[in-house]
Amino acid sequence: MTRKTTSDRNEAASPDPGDQPDPGAARAAEMGIDHLTRLTGKPVQGVTSMEPIEDGWLVEIEVLEDRHIPSSADILALYEVEIAFDGNLLAYRRINRYHRGSTDIGGRGRR
């Protein structure tokens, strides 16, 4: 399922920005991390990308799925987290798993 980004919209009219306050990119990333941490219980490594979408923000977050010794054998994962303009979680999904240090991890638009 592909979400329309704000740049993809061809609509003449846009929703009134006063209807739902946009939390902004930094706050949306924080909310995405909070939601994902509560749902998965996994430690977050960082935000790898984000973009505005029709309903809010799409945040891509890297998570430590399985810790190993040495750490180069760790299993990481990328999750897409959709955050509404009001801060609520719309959806989340794991889009990839890979070993730490892997150079071909995929991600949005590279699957």
Q: Does some domain include residue 16?
A: no
Q: Is residue 13 part of a domain?
A: no
Is 6 part of any domain? no
Within 10 angstroms of residue 90's Cβ, the number of other Cβ atoms is: 16
Per-residue pLDDT reduced to its tens digit, 69-90 = 888 889 999 999 999 999 999 9
Q: Which residue range forms the structural domain that includes residue 36?
A: 25-99
pTM of the model: 0.74
Residue 69 lies in a domain: yes
Structural domains in the chain (count): 1
Closest to 94 (Cα-Cα) out of 80, 108, 109: 80
pLDDT band at 101 (very low <50, low <70, confident <90, very high): confident
- Sign, CA dihedral 56-6-94-77, equals negative
The verdict on whether omega for the bond into residue 70 sits within 30 degrees of 0, i.e. cis, is yes
